[in-house]
Amino acid sequence: MNQNMKQKPHTQTAWIYHEEKHYCKDCGWPVIMACCNDETGALFPNDDWIIYCANKGCQNHKGAGVFQDLPRFVASS
Ligand SMILES: [Zn+2]
């Protein structure tokens, strides 16, 4: 088997969520939507996707699960 076919690019599981220019209400940094797996799957067992602030110093960096609506800390311009 071709060695290059074994792994998917990791970048497909998380990205900066900039559709309609969403950002963190508290600090203004971009927010990131990520597929809920591995470590985050243990924290958010009921969610397929989470969204979190890219700012490590922000209270919203711990993230929140995404249901039908975006979490309260996500604002759009
Ligand atoms: Zn923030």
Residue 31 covered by a domain: yes
Q: What is the pLDDT of residues 36-77, one digit of tens each?
A: 877 777 888 888 889 999 999 999 999 999 877 889 999 987
Number of domains in the chain: 1
Distance in Å, CA 2 to ligand 1 centroid: 42
> Structural domain of residue 52, as residue ranges?
22-76
Residue 69: per-residue pLDDT: 80
Residue 12 covered by a domain: no
Q: What is the pLDDT of residues 7-44, one digit of tens each?
A: 555 555 666 665 558 899 999 999 998 888 777 778 88
Residue 7: per-residue pLDDT: 53
* 3 state SS for the chain: CCHHHCCCCHHHHEEECCCCCEEECCCCCEEEEEECCHHHHHHCCCCCEEEEECCCCCHHHHCEECCCCCCCCEEEC
Residue 18: per-residue pLDDT: 56
Distance in Å, CA 25 to ligand 1 centroid: 7
Residue 26 covered by a domain: yes
Say what the pTM is.
0.69
